[in-house]
Amino acid sequence: MSTTPPNVDHTNAESPVTTAHSQPTPLWGTTGQAPRRIPWARLASTGLLTALALFALIGPLIWRQYTSQDLSQFLQPPSLAEPFGHDHLGRSVIARLAHATRLSLGLAIVCVATAATTGVALGLLAAWRRGWVDQMLLGISEIFLALPALLIVLIFAALASGEMWTIYIGIALALWVEYFRVVRARSVSVLTSPAIEAANLLRLGPAHMLRRHLWPELAPVLLTMASLGMATAVLAMSTLSYVGVGLKPPTAELGLLITESLPYYHEAPWMVTAPIVVLLLLLAGLLGLRAQEVRR
């Protein structure tokens, strides 16, 4: 699950507050508006993800039967109606693929939403209250920092293997800590800044601080983390089923599709290639969406 960002907090330090001091005054006449570059990576990623989302939403409506077996169609090669043919049990590969994509995207969204809500709420709480609340939450987050995400998901998979909720809880639990740490660190630095001091002197209330100070500072980071977190979730789910402790057949899931089709990679290469390509495109789309932000 190598999608963990190289510490979003560090790489994303782009606030003018920090750069204004660390950089020498530029020589006059050499700065000025940099020509706005077209974000090709983002455009391509957005297009890719839109296409995949459409496939996930509409695909299952077109190709409804993803579990019905028909051994007479054993490894049938692709045709116009069935672009990826049939698998070793005669099931429609495209139908299974569409359902698997929907499952991956859906679960990733739910996991990230849960983790982000929890992490942001606790991070703000810790930064605002400080004191023992902060210390306690920090202590808990230290535990999670020693446990790579996949281990947490695996522990939960042992609880009741093959059930969706264990994977959901496991992934959400693995992801929340990152939101907590980043939101807490950034909020603390915002809340102790002169800008907040000035806002207090101007008697502007918490609504102003949330809307004008905290939210503009956090939103871009959260978006970046959300897209990377979705990639982590997609990858974790498929990895689990690939190593045999994730969702159980006959569920259509990308990792399972790859495992099931591997023995036939010689006879029916399209069957193996299709889920791998979908998985790669999904990850590339999610990682490319905010690549510039991660970079900085």
Partner 1 sequence: MAPLPAPSPPRSPAARTDHDYSLARAVGKVLIRRAAQAVSVTFAVTVTCFVIVQHLPGDIAFRIAAGRYGYDKVDASAAAEVRAELNLDTPAWQQLGGWIADALRLDFGASLVTGASVTDELAHHLSATVHLAAVALLLSVTLGTVIGLLAARSRGGVLDRLTDAWVALVRALPPFVLGLVLIIVFSVQLGWVPAAGHGERGNIVLPALTLAVGLSGLFARVTRDTVAQILESEHVHFARTKGLAGHIVLARHVLRNAGVTLVAYIGVQVLILVEGVVVVESLFAWPGLGHALVHAVFWRDIPSMQATVLALALIVVVVSTLVDLAVLALDPRTREMQ
Partner 2 sequence: MTIELLDVRVNHQGRALVDVPRLTLEPGQAVTIVGESGSGKSLLAHALMGSLPRSLQVQGDIRFGADRSCLADVGARRKLWGHRLALLPQEPVLALDPTMRIDQQVAEGHPRFLHGRRGRLDALEQASERLAGLGLHNVHNTYPHTLSGGMAQRVAFAAATIGGAQVLITDEPSKGLDPVARDSLARLLSQHVEHGGALLTITHDLDLARALGGELLVMQQANIVEHGPAEQVLTAPAHPWTQRLLAAEPNQWVPSWRGAGASSADATPLIEARGLSKAYGGLPLFSGLDLEITPGERLALTGPSGSGKTTLGGILLKLVHPDAGEVIHHPDLADGRVQKLYQDPTVAFPARTPIRAGLRDVTRRHRVDPERVNMLMDRLRLDPSLLDRRPGEISGGELQRIAIIRAMLLNPRVIFADEPTSRLDLLTQQETMDCLMNQVSEQDAALVLVTHDIGLAAAVTDRNLSLDNADPVSMAPARVD
DSSP string, the chain: -TT--S-HHHHT---HHHHHHHSPPPPTTS-SPPPPPP-HHHHHHHHHHHHHHHHHHHHHHHS--SS---GGGTTPPP-SSSTT-B-TTS-BHHHHHHHHHHHHHHHHHHHHHHHHHHHHHHHHHHHHH-HHHHHHHHHHHHHHHTS-HHHHHHHHHHHSTT-HHHHHHHHHHHHHHHHHHHHHHHHHHHHTSHHHHHHHHTT--HHHIIIIIIHHHHHHHHHHHHHHHHHHHHHHHHHHHHHTSSSPTTS--HHHHHHHHGGGTTT-HHHHHHHHHHHHHHHHHHHHHTHHHHH-
Report the residue from 34, 36, 201, 296 that binds partner 2 according to the rule CB under 8 A.
Answer: 201
Q: Which of 6, 29, 35, 139 binds partner 2 (CB under 8 A)?
A: 29
Q: Which is nearer to partner 1, 32 or 139 (CB)?
A: 139
In the range 27-56, which residues lie near partner 1 by CB under 8 A?
A: none
CB nearer to partner 1: give 154 or 268: 154
Check residue 10 for interaction with partner 2 (CB under 8 A).
no
Question: In this chain, which of 44, 121, 147, 195 binds partner 2, going by CB under 8 A?
Answer: 195
Nearer of residues 126 and 152 to partner 1, judged by Cβ: 152
Contact mark string toward partner 2, 203..242, x via CB under 8 A: xxx--x---xx--xx-------------------------
Q: Is 243 a residue that touches partner 1 (CB under 8 A)?
A: yes
In the bound state with partner 2, the residue whose beta carbon lies nearer, of 139 and 205, is 205
129 touches partner 1 by CB under 8 A: no
The CA–CA distances, whole Å, from 239 to 30, 66, 142, 150, 284 equal: 50, 21, 25, 9, 16
Question: 258-287 mask for partner 1 (x: CB under 8 A)?
Answer: x---x--x----------x--xx--xx--x
**176 token code pair:** 């929340």
Question: Where do contacts with partner 1 occur on this chain (CB under 8 A)?
Answer: 1-4, 6-7, 11, 24, 139, 142-143, 145-151, 154-155, 157-159, 161, 191-194, 196-197, 200, 235, 238-239, 242-245, 255, 258, 262, 265, 276, 279-280, 283-284, 287-288, 291, 295
Binding site for partner 2 (CB under 8 A): 15-17, 20, 22, 24-25, 27-30, 193-195, 197-199, 201-205, 208, 212-213, 216-217
